[in-house]
Amino acid sequence: MENPTNTLQRELQDLKAQINTLEKGLEHKPDYGLGTGAAAVTNWELDLAMVKRLRERVSLIEQTLSQTDQNAYGICKQCGEPIHPDRLAVLPDTRLCIQCARNEQDSK
């Protein structure tokens, strides 16, 4: 059974690598006009939007990992019971055990 924190660390590294790659492509904004220019600009803008989304994900994971450092990782914030490892494997950044997650859904 792998520690879910490792999964998040790895995802974080992947995301940062993707951001790096995308940012290299973003350094030179293509010119409009000249045949295929318009399509290139559209891709550039898509990449820019992608970087923004990836950055948001990175900050979410970093937040989760810093909470992990405060040793509450894998503990339900609602009832204080340990969250089942199977659940953490599927939802590494969940803060609720299955029971509390169900209760929360029922109350909506």
Positions touching Zn ion (CB under 5 A) are: 76, 78-79, 97, 100
Which CB sits closer to Zn ion, 51 or 76? Answer: 76
Which CB sits closer to Zn ion, 10 or 77? Answer: 77
CB 63 → Zn ion: shortest distance, Å?
A: 20
CB 105 → Zn ion: shortest distance, Å?
A: 13
How many C-alpha atoms does 23 have within 13 Å on its Cβ side? 11
Element (H, E) at 12: helix 4-26
DSSP state of 51: H
CB 87 → Zn ion: shortest distance, Å?
A: 11
Which CB sits closer to Zn ion, 57 or 87? Answer: 87
DSSP state of 75: B
Which CB sits closer to Zn ion, 79 or 89? Answer: 79
CB 81 → Zn ion: shortest distance, Å?
A: 5
- Structure-token pair, residue 87: 């659940």
Element (H, E) at 96: none
Q: Give the integer Cα–Cα distance in Å for 80 and 102.
A: 15
